[in-house]
């Protein structure tokens, strides 16, 4: 039996979506090529896998039985590739780091050569929509991850975490010409009467579910609409054009460089959420590769240096703080 993986992939994809044209698009091949691959696989296994119906296709019973095994074959193949890539990186002295798309991550990505060791080189990848960063790390697709997290969302067995920085509370920012919130007597539920802009689950894991639960439990309402952003800079821009009220964890005024942008800024819940936001390096628990560990260490030094210059720049900005509007 001559199996080939491309046919198997097409088979699994076609079984999942049930449309030749969609499969062709997903695989980047033409529609006849999809039929050809299926025909090839069918003749290799000597079974009919699909019945073509006028309104689409349907798996036969044999096809149904095989598709689960085929999926497993592909999964194993993928993880084999990840492990072999990991091995090759190790033997060639390459460290692959996943930097999140926050502004700090962007800044770090621009300073790769600062934390690159003499012996090795660093490859920077950004989070994709395909796999989440924790999965990518556990499956050895990357060697370490630098990301924000909220309330220990990334504390997973198998991962070690080193906080580069923690920040307390939640920052609320808005465009002053659209919303006339009273900064001195700011009332949090007021913000919930309009669209809010929040970082997405991919940018700050654990934050959005927390916020929704918090709003529901403490105020009994959800905001009418939630815009979530994968990119901090994009969120800030959306806020400054007045799409909504930005509600982000931590000391966002400094982090997002909000002063001078003319936005109204309030920091709140500092006592209820101490150290809720953290910016950390995640490593696999079993990581023994000295190169990876030392690169991560170097990165933390670079981060500290970059960040200290930044805060020095921004401390002269006026900080406005509001009372926690309501205890939980």
Partner 1 sequence: MHFEPQQLKVFTALMHERSVGRAAVELRTSASNVRRIWASLEEELGESLFDASERGHAAPTKAAERLEREITSLLTEVRRFEDSVRSIHRTGRVLRLGADRNVFNTSHFGHLFNTLRHDPRFRISFVEVSSSEGRSSLEAGACDLLFAIEGTPGRRFETRDLPSLPLDVACMRRPEDETDIGAATLAEWNWALATFSSPSLARDTLRKIQRCGGGSGQMCSQHEFLRWAEGFSSPISDAVVCIRPVSFRRLPRVSFHPLNVEASYPLHVSYLRQHPFEFLETIVQQMDRALKDSTHGSRSAQS
Q: How many residues does the chain have?
A: 328
What 3-state DSSP class applies to 173? strand
- Does residue 83 touch partner 1 according to CB under 8 A? yes
Helix (H, G, I), strand (E, B) or coil at 253: helix
Least CB distance to partner 1 at residue 90 (A): 9
Residue numbers 86-125 binding partner 1 by CB under 8 A: 87-88, 91
Q: What are phi and psi of 75, to 5 degrees?
A: -65, -45
Q: Does 130 bind partner 1 (CB under 8 A)?
A: no
First and final C-alpha spacing in the chain? 64
323 vs 7: CA distance, rounded Å: 62
Q: Does 69 bind partner 1 (CB under 8 A)?
A: yes
Give the three-class secondary structure for 16: helix
| 76 is a site residue for partner 1 (CB under 8 A) | yes
**How far apart are the C-alpha atoms of 266 and 277, rounded to whole Å?**
16
Stretch that binds partner 1, among 80-88, 209-217, 224-232, 299-307 (CB under 8 A): 80-88
Tell me how far apart the alpha carbons of residues 19 and 146 are, in angstroms, rounded to a whole number. Answer: 39
Binding residue (CB under 8 A) for partner 1 from 62, 123, 233, 275:
62
Q: Interface with partner 1 includes 3 (CB under 8 A)?
A: yes
Find residue 321's DSSP bridge partners.
267
Which is nearer to partner 1, 66 or 265 (by Cβ)? 66
List binders of partner 1 among 204-263 (CB under 8 A). Answer: none
Sole binder of partner 1 in the list 28, 53, 180, 217 (CB under 8 A): 53
Taking the least distance from each CB to partner 1, the nearer of 77 and 304 is 77
Q: CA–CA distance from 125 to each of 53, 112, 132, 141, 144 (Å)?
A: 43, 11, 12, 10, 10
Cβ closest to partner 1, residue 27 vs residue 228: 27
Q: How many CB atoms lie within 10 A of CB 325?
A: 16
Q: How far apart are CA 81 and CA 14, in angstroms?
A: 23
The region of 39-47, 125-133, 197-205, 256-264 touching partner 1 under the rule CB under 8 A is 39-47
**Which positions lie near partner 1, rule CB under 8 A?**
1-5, 39, 42-43, 45-48, 50-53, 60-62, 65-66, 69-70, 72-73, 75-77, 79-81, 83-85, 87-88, 91
């Amino acid at each position: 039996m001559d199996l080939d993986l491309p046919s198997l992939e097409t088979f699994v994809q076609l079984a999942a979506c049930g449309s030749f044209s969609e499969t062709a698009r997903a695989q980047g091949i033409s529609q006849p090529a999809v039929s050809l691959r299926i025909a090839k696989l069918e003749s290799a296994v000597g079974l009919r896998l699909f019945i073509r119906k006028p309104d689409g296709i349907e798996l036969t019973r044999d096809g149904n039985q095989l598709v689960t095994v085929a999926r497993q074959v592909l999964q194993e193949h993928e993880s084999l590739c990840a492990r072999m890539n990991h091995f090759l990186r190790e033997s060639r002295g390459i460290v692959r780091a996943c930097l999140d798309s926050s502004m700090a991550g962007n800044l770090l990505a621009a300073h790769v050569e600062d934390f690159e060791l003499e012996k090795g080189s660093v490859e920077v990848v950004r989070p994709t929509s395909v796999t989440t960063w924790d999965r990518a790390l556990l499956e050895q697709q990357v060697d370490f991850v630098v990301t924000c997290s909220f309330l220990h969302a990334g504390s997973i067995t198998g991962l070690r975490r080193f906080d580069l920085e923690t920040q307390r509370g939640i920052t609320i920012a808005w465009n002053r010409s659209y919303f006339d919130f009273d900064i001195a007597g700011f009332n949090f539920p007021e913000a919930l009467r309009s669209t809010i802009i929040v970082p997405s689950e991919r940018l700050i894991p654990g934050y959005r579910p927390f916020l929704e639960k918090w709003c529901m439990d403490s105020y009994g309402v959800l905001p009418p609409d939630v815009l979530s952003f994968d990119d901090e800079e994009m969120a800030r821009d959306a806020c400054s054009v007045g799409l909504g009220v930005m509600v982000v964890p931590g000391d966002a005024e400094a982090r997002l460089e909000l002063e001078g942008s003319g936005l109204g800024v309030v920091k709140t819940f500092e006592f209820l959420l101490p150290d809720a936001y953290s910016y950390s390096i995640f490593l696999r628990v079993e990581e023994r590769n000295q190169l990876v560990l030392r690169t991560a260490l170097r990165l933390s030094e670079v981060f500290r240096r970059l960040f200290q210059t930044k805060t020095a720049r921004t401390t002269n900005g006026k900080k406005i703080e509001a009372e926690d509007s309501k205890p939980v």
